[in-house]
Amino acid sequence: MKVFLIVFSAFNALSLFSCKDNSINANNYIPTGPVSLVINTDLPEYFKLKTPGTYIYQPGGNRGVIVIHNFDDNYVAIERTCSLEPDKACSKIYLDSMALTLRCGTFNLNKWEPCCESRFMYSGQVSQGPAQYPLRTYYVTINGSVITVRN
């Protein structure tokens, strides 16, 4: 009986270690890129960001950054790469100001073409669709009229 318990315990221990999944989940992998933005909202090209509900697209990160002045008067900076299948060419985030969401897809000849039907809140959290992970967000600091975005 002791031999049986020892063998049984050893088998269970080996089973626990062998079931560990070491693979990377593609949904959770968004390639990184440097983000270092300084946006002075007193300048004409950024002045509109002083108004809640506005946004701008900026270079940086993997596919760009969306800087949003949301309706609760906070600034958010979000990576433009979708968290579902981020390596697909169409996997880019755009802000849909009519629906107040971020959408995954592309514009082709001014026509919207969805990539994965995922939608995200301004916080980057998934609101609907197949994506299971939020969008990458960046650190935002405000000093007077200057917005700094960094990763």
pLDDT tens digits, 101-140: 999 998 888 888 999 989 999 999 999 989 999 999 999 9
Both tokens of 47, joined, read: 């002045």
Hey, what amino acid is at 69? H
pLDDT of residue 27: 40
Q: How many residues does the chain have?
A: 151
| Per-position b or e across 22-35, b if 16+ CB within 10 A of its CB | eeeeebeebeeeeb
Q: Hey, CA dihedral for 65, 67, 71, 75, is it positive or negative?
A: positive
Both tokens of 63, joined, read: 């596919």
Please state which CATH class domain 27-150 belongs to: mainly beta
Compute the mean pLDDT over every residue in the chain, rounded to the nearest whole number: 84
Q: Of all helices (H) and strands (E), which one includes residue 120?
A: strand 111-120
User: Which range (41-45, 73-77, 106-110, 118-122) has the least confidence?
Assistant: 106-110
